[in-house]
Structure 1
Amino acid sequence: MPPTLGGLVRTPSLGLRPLTGDGGLDRAVGWVAVSELTDPTPYLAGGELLLTTGVRWADSPVDLREYVHRLALRDIAGLGFGVGVALERTPDQLREAAVEFGVALLEVPRPTPFIAIGKEVSRVLAKEEYEGLSRAFTAQRDLTRAALSGAAAVVDRLARDLGARVLLLSSDGAPRHTAPAGASPLPRDLGGGLDRLRAAGPRASAAVTAGAEHIWAQPLATGRRVRGFLAVGTDGPLGPEQRTLVNAAVSLLSLELERDAHGEGARLGEGVLAALLSGALDPADPGAERLVATLPPAPVVVAAADGAPGAPPPPGALVAAYGEGAVLLTAADTPDAVVTDLLDGPVGISDPADHTGLAAALAQAERAREAARSRGGGPVRAAELPGGLLGLADTPAGTRMAEELLAPLLAERSGADLLASLRAYLAASGRWDAAAEALGVHRHTLRYRMRRIRELLPVDLDDPDVRAELWISLRLHGARA
């Protein structure tokens, strides 16, 4: 649930007191704004809980009725007045205006800092976002599992999760599957929209309103060829979580329709591969053993590439679109030349693994692909890369972050001395005498340099996380110096 005024009132640590009754306490609070301006509305977007102490009202008389009227027109969530700063009690005129214009008014006691209210709203917003992401992840996992049973199961699952009318259409607009069963066909005014979608390409979408229903449609395609359409009818606009779920269904159905054109065996195997790689299917799940049997026998390797799948795979291998590129599952002894024939672009290849370790193998392959991009040559195997946590950081992205973190020191004329001093200081765990001795300088010289480093780096050198990050950055920088 999003934060509401009522929820804030019921938070004992805040001590807020409603002055306009229970009306409006169910209003959602999008954010907390603090302003002492006599007219803060140009800086409000609507939906905020505005907090003020009226500190300027004594010096610059304000028409409180007009003040509240402007806030009401801006559609704020509510107004909080902090007492004990400029005024010992909430002005009666402010309360009367709040009642007149339907603005919920809360009294904030002197011991409650405004920042505490903002933190509480941020906490609830973060909790809601996390719960939304968790729900979306669970729903996407269920959709992916449904895809193992075919396109119709994806449509049924999507309709159930959205509580909506969902239609899978063929490329000519004819219904292939409808959920819930017996749902009415699309309105006629979407027919022209399908023609426009077909011409606009796979990333286009169309939306119409038929009475109280909102209908959204998008083509299903893995390339330029449209193999069908997905249409979703809801009582209102799709929210962020719903749009995420629909987008996932579009991707799954696009793959399903594409695989249908290449045979049932390949479709099932690639669906199992995608489910294992994403974590949507656990090999220990009931019935998973039968599905995993459709994959090439272990030990296998996972190869990841930026480009689309190349040549059709030979027997005993699977190539599937995954994310923005493609993945290959093949026997561990497959030569590199065969792998590069099947995939386009920079290629990374994992260590051998069994079917229970495909998600970890994909991470290895993606890391090796990063190295292949930077080297600009042939495929890179994970076994060629340095191991450990430092090895995980030793990628183009990790190097770039390290250079960005150390950039203020590198820009100094004495940058080399500063880097050496920081390295010695961290290696000595902050012991001045030991670090100065290792450098061969007086400890006062080291203290001066460290003071300069603290001025240049926007971090807290006493934070162990910061020290670890700086140490890894120095190691990565030194390896390339």
Structure 2
Amino acid sequence: MTNPYAHPSLARILDLLGTSAARLLAAPAGCDIPISGHSVLDVTEEEGPAHEGAILLAVGVCPDAAALLDALPALGRAGAAAIALKTRGADTGPLVEAATAAGVAVLAVADVIPWRHIDALLAAAAGTFGQDAPGFPSAAAVGDLFSLANAVAAMVGGAITVEDPQQRVLAYSNLPGQPIDDARRDTILGRQVPLDDHYLRIYRRLWRAAGVVRIGDASPLPRLAVAIRAGTELLGSLWAVESSTPFGPEAEQALADAAKAATLHLLRLRRATELERRARGELLRSLLAGKPPSAARFGIDLGRMTVLALELPSCSNTPVNILGLQVADLVMACAETLTSSTSCVVEGQVVYALLPLAEDIPQTRVASLAETVITRCEQSLHTRLRAGIGSAVADFADVPRSRLEADRVLAVLAAEPLRARVATIEDVRCQAILLELEETIANDPRIHLASVTAMLRHDAERGTRYAETLLAYLDAFGDTTVAADRLHVHQNTFRYRIRRLGELFGVDLGNADERLVTWLQLRLMVCEARTAPTPAEGLHVVVPHQVPGRD
């Protein structure tokens, strides 16, 4: 059986490379065409290798070169999917026109990105999509960062750590006799550099520097650090801890050279990781929609799972799609101490995370994780979030229920802003049930009581207050003194209203079932009417608190 994930599409390749590495100039056949591989294009060859479905790297070829323009019709007939080249400011109009006529896409590679990096990224894409499960990178695609760290440590003469732009430790050297201090030990054990103001100042200095930076105030042992970049794009950093022998100029040069080698590893790691995240995100999106994939495709063992939902603010300086990805990255990073198989997906204004949990991990740990994510979002993204947590389930088929519960929790927190910013479904179960009943009542007119409908309409048309009077009466268990005080009316006025609403609308307060259903519908409909933005027909009517006139 053919593996549907054997070849990535041109769109996936563009995602892999990223806008900082390549941009699309022409796609006459669209972006869904499969890419079978890549090779170097030699326009001087009269009969080159087979190009069916391939991206051809036009290394050293100008976009307006006559040889390239003349070769395009033959490349199109051979089935070439695209050509990739560096424009270096040249006019690309004739190239785009000729390529469109030949049916060949054109990619403009950033001038500052070495061709060896583009080659490695395309190889990573091919390796990733050759796996049985979509998006899971192979060891070849990821590269051996730990071996790189040991090699750099041997060259520089100090202990090495490799970090990503979020100061997370990706790899570290472990050669015998390496110097170590509390900062290195704590960073490696926690896989995260402390996010305090002192370290943030150090990193801002590092990001601005063009080369190796000597740092003497990060910890007891001095350090050398260098940013790892692909062109202008920041990929991470290399850190070297000084031993008893101070670092000399040769150590700085070795670390600078190592940063260039690390660029290739981090590019491959990041792009492979992005493919994995996208693939897992699509699987999670299907799962939340009630279309569960197999456990093997998801890459986790069936067991306890719970859904964490984080609601993004409707007003933010950051576009919601970018903010959603930033929050998802933060969830993935924070969840590493809880579980190693977290999946995230952004749906509109909500970031959903599926958290597989070991049997000995209580649900309270998920709430603590949510608090950590929210706190870090406030610190680093200057964004306030709310978090809802569904119940733990044991099967993929029940995950949509956990997601629905998490959504209900968010709705309760939104309706009651004075509540805590994090809650589980058990914390707000009663309020969540009322919300579900409200939706049922609003969406099914067959279960509306005629007496309640007539009462709300009468109040809206004549300015009376029968609905809130009856609701206050039922809320107070029939205690007219308490109910009258809540409405700030005289007890005699209150008793008159109760008597009149029985006459006008036929409400039988002596019937326990009718009292229950009337109370429930009034509670839901009056609250809905009070929060409706404008009056409308039927049940969406405004029930005023203070309206002059007789009752």
TM-score norm. by structure 2 comes to: 0.30
- Structure with larger Rg: 2
Structure with more relative contact order (C-alpha pairs < 8 Å, separation 6 or more): 2
